[in-house]
A and B are shown apart, each in its own frame.
Chain A
């Protein structure tokens, strides 16, 4: 079986969805954030309720129970599969068909957490995550859920105005993707690096000219002749 962190789902409409699976390290960090948050909440409440005597301790025990067992379930079921820790790490739990996590699904995966935590420090869960081709721990397998990265898409792109020229060679679709990727990411590179990259496409031109030429070609691909 192919081990890859991308997982493809076909929707009934025939569109292919591509999910990016989250690995054990990211998930462990999200868990760490959640654990810290839970301990903080518990500590604050312990301080406040501790002043109420035995009644307060009774309430505190109930809240401690709820924090232990229902904190992940409630957040995942109500906040699109994200506990605060998962949100901070940019990951979320979804069903294996890409649909949002249901309450039942979340409950199964969180009730079975104890089995994943066996015998210590989530050792069993860690091992199953590594073995599973879809990075699932035991609870995920039983609930048929995945933990995926939620991708951020920025569509704000700087406009570079200028001439648009067709490429002077027959363009393959691979070439086209490479050129468009360059167009989108060029702002992340320094001018010198951009010129260096442009020289790969036009080795016969001087660096500044090559970059100018490359920009006009990508502009043509994007917008057509003007």
Chain B
């Protein structure tokens, strides 16, 4: 068959396929304009056949290219996977996220240990030798911190008093940009053989520990702890989880096991992604608490009990959320 006849014979099929594809590729199609798609699969199979014929009979390169591109587009539409979004989100928070965290508990444990141990080390060092604090922060920042968390009885000019709704929104934006950015970078840093993730854990851990130790020395610890205890639960947990997910990536390159390094990396990324969705949600929650609840002045007992409840609920959720009853390991 000559090319011109071939084109003439199948052009209507190609045109109709193009129309169907345009509809599938569009984000929204009005109900009236919608075409029936029940012939799509059969048409696609014919098209594959015609591409093979065009190559076998060495029809012109332009026609081959046209058919190739059409097959490519149809292939994309046929093999895409897109279940409804709302179901997936519900399912994710009910069981997907805590299960994903538990599946990689080893990495999160390593990340948590490096974080907690560096907190403890810096804390003890600063409490024993107060001048050690200057190895972590400089003087200007330190006086800011002391002003922020000075003991209650001297609290006339602290940032919490005279704070308005507008400041809350400003800080909310700041916490989102800063904290979530750090978590995402920690995850990506893990790809560099885990070094980036560990570094962030040690750095932030010792910073936090040193500040806490220093404020105990200067007597500002109550203002500090009542401020951080509630949002600390989701925030610190999320940073640790991001570090754990990053370590998982880095380890897949260091020790890929029975896979090639490329495949191990792919598997690790697919495994770690649900954790990162969860980290994002936790940090949104943390930013919300930190901006709108933590700066409120309530009795220390109330702040501590709310904070303790946050920690308890979060860890109950992470340890037991989505476990099947009697199914053993999640």
Contact = CB atoms under 8 A, between A and B. Distances in A.
B76 A94 contact: yes
Interface stretch (A23-31, A38-46, A100-108, A194-202): A100-108
A114 B188 contact: yes
Contacts of A141: 262, 265-266
Contacts of B191: 112, 115, 138, 142
Given A65-B180, A173-B58, A17 B72 contact: yes
Interface residues of A, number: 57
Given A54-B169, A58-B170, A142-B266, A69 B75 contact: no
Nearest to B263: A144
Contacts of A98: 72, 75-76
B48 A65 contact: no
Contacts of B58: 173, 176-177, 180
Contacts of B134: none
A224 B5 contact: yes
Contact of B2 (A18, A155, A157, A224): A224
Contacts, number: 155
B172 interface: yes
Contacts of B66: 153, 155
Given A55-B170, A62-B177, A107-B273, A184 B60 contact: yes
Contacts of A138: 191
Interface in B69-95: 69, 71-72, 75-77, 79-82
A127 interface: no
Given A99-B76, A181-B61, 4 more contacts: A62-B172, A112-B249, A115-B196, A151-B69
Interface of B: 2-5, 25, 27, 44-45, 48, 51-52, 58-62, 65-66, 68-69, 71-72, 75-77, 79-82, 165-167, 169-174, 176-177, 180-181, 184-185, 187-189, 191-192, 196, 249, 262, 265-266, 268-270, 273, 276
